[in-house]
Structure 1
């Protein structure tokens, strides 16, 4: 894994540079700018910077494709603007969003970036010999590195440097120090989006571009366009390679030339050139030889590269093993992975988590909580009539805001009937469920005009689970339905209540105390708990009187309400659990 650290530590980090939308003016173009005839894209014209100036240059030509043989109203182009994604509206060089992007890019000041680098030079000098990469435990990864000659194409000044191939980088980068040593010529500027490891934010900076020649194995030179950056990375630490069979490796490499030496001991090196994915496939060839599991010899135009993972040597210092832990500062390990914390990396552990013992059932009692109010209300209102417990809803103070919403329930019923009309068997099963609940006293008929308190309707739909052995068709009631976004739903007017599920750890421990364990299930448990009459009108719902007709009007609609606790209301799990506990306590 390649180490990438905070964007505020440019001296000793491996940073991910992503090329922006802007292109360098050094690239070759097949068409000139439509406005100034320069060698750049029309939308990157710096001479005519406003839409009005560019439209004057077009002189009545088409604003969509920039051609001069017709006008915009007659244009048949179907081009998509790359900035606002609109189709056949305007050319991308005339897009308002493009000019907003340009303004944002111009506001980025590279001098601030360079100043930050200079301010940290003295601080980072003490870290030059330290490990700067994140390591995997018991694993050593060899990157694709090579040692070759870099030449200034203009004055043929050259130097042998270490480079690395990185297909995860969009562009190729050369360090400022190498550019100064070779007196590389600056050919243009380019906007770069800088993204660091562990961070979601990005910074836009201006970098200079240049051309360099790199020497290949066959003696020829390959010209690359690279961006000049203050530093590509800090020192690279390479661990000694452990091979399972040294003799096999020697026989494989007997007639091969390696692009870089194989480390036999721990060493650190400086990286001056990173070749990104823009030239990666031009250099890496198809041949690959497996040395051992996870370790390969790759054929490249720089000779053969040894890359992959190996086991660490016995001499590997245990203090260097971070096991992919992002640590801060130099007081955790000796690795100094970060010299300054990124905003997304926690710099201080939450000490409270070490002392939190809620998981074993020990909590601090707090007075007048909602759960305590709900529990006390449940105990005060619980009744038992005709051998069945009857409960009430745990209302919040804003119950007056609960709408009647019969229109919503009627609209949802029409949609439901339309959907199941094509499946007569499903429609019949749906009706059988409702009629069975009516026969068992779960629901009851109610007159439309009758009022016993607050009135509210609950829409419903069908859920089919063919794999279940018991209830394959289930009628689901939506107590969260709203007529409008600013209206309250039934669930929003009720307290959820305390969670009555027992701690799983305690259940498992008690289960082991005896020789025989008993598991029981209550059939349709929610529907075994009754609702007191004054609480039932908020659970009204609509259904058809005659299912043999698809007409849904007032003459074919029957209103029902629940006499038991329906599943789907936010308070239902609490009411069931509290009722069972009350019964067991008695």
Structure 2
């Protein structure tokens, strides 16, 4: 007898394990069939359970069963922030299936209560300055009253950092240049110690991260918002809501980018530094700097950030939320709005299309949209001549033919993706070792 498996599968609404079915029985009889399949009447109707008949067992049926399972997981959207189209949802399901073999089944996804609070706080306190740049508040939680100044530890570690800078002149130059950029961009200000702080006060240590090979940032100064006076105290990060994770799935984004005939990538220039912090909250972003980096006896200067910092656990959420609001309110083209909601990874734009004119339209409207929020989309690279002509005209074109795309190297001229092969396995049969090895590709 031939069976139309497609028609049968369309009738499946939910799959339950036997333990769940036992709780849903209506109490009526259970019918044991010759092929060892149980038909169990439940409050939802008849449930099918039991072993797979011997004559149906085989490699093909096993593979088919494994492939069908992810498709039966109910579609779950990320509340509040963005929705996924059918193509992206399919990619996400297949990637989850490949990565979750140890725990196949239905998993719930929910926004943590604290994430909801962070989002509501952001919506209620964020404002636009002159209808352009954004000003946000720090998302303090109920522990903020426990926050101490951390002034001694911050001062001590700043002197230690100064010693390292004196020991390595190249590091000294890079750090001083990076800090001068903060001053030039009006991202920091000297604290007037005679003014009474409006809110809590906290001092952060910092360290420099040299970015070898970077074309835009030689050295990045990262603040340590996890520093605290003692083990029993709390740090700045501990009194902040982290906020929901609004970063797109890296693998899905990369796969979607590879599918299009024409691709383009761009970078949001110093994205964090484009978002202002409300003056009332800036005193938790204090730090020390050197009046004379070469002189250990010179006094330290008290400064504070006016913008979102590198090092706060709330910063990624603040950036993603600002971009979300900017695209929602200022992008009037539905095609570009949908594309932007699904092609931004932190501060990188990664988008592809089969239609070159659509990609050129994406370039024009996305640049205009981000300009309205005081952001600058730069370093545009594409295998589309239309896009590169526009980028060259606006002086934002990337000159190199091999560029980084989410950790991969993209040869624009040949439209090929390259990855590093110069790494080795440490010989350990552990998950940590496997992850470390595979991540070296990026």
Bin for the TM-score computed over the shorter chain = 0.3 to 0.5
Which structure carries more relative contact order (alpha carbon 8 Å, separation 6+)?
A: 2
Bigger Rg, structure 1 or 2: 1
TM-score by length of 1: 0.37
Greater helix proportion: 2
